[in-house]
Amino acid sequence: MSNCDKKRKEYSDDDSSNKKIKTSKLTDKIKNEIEKINKVKQNMYNEIYANIRRNNSLRNEINKLDKELYNICPHNWVRDYEQFSYDSTPKICEYCGL
């Protein structure tokens, strides 16, 4: 066994003993508080993910409506000077805003 392997083993043994000491210091009260906080965090993450899914759903619906507008509107394309571009000035429909 090389010196590096011996050191790795020593460190790994130390880590496991430290974890045991740390967890043994936790009282039931602290464990319950930790669980409560983790549940609150998980609920917040679930709410975030639900909002992300809702946001994506709304974006998809907007895209469908834009496609419908594109197909229905007779479009009169004019330059949109409010938008800055290094290339050509972007154009926007005077009627539907696409």
pLDDT of residue 81: 81
Q: Name the helix (H) or strand (E) containing 12.
A: helix 3-24
pLDDT of residue 17: 47
**Domain regions of the chain by residue span:** 3-93
**Cα–Cα distance, 76 to 82 (Å, whole number):** 17
Task: Tell me the average pLDDT across 62-77.
Answer: 96
Give burial (CB, 10 Å; 0-12/13-18/19+) of 72. exposed
- 34-59 pLDDT, tens digit per residue, is 999 999 999 999 999 999 999 999 99
| pTM summary value | 0.60
User: Do residues 90 and 83 touch, judged by C-beta distance below 8 A?
Assistant: yes
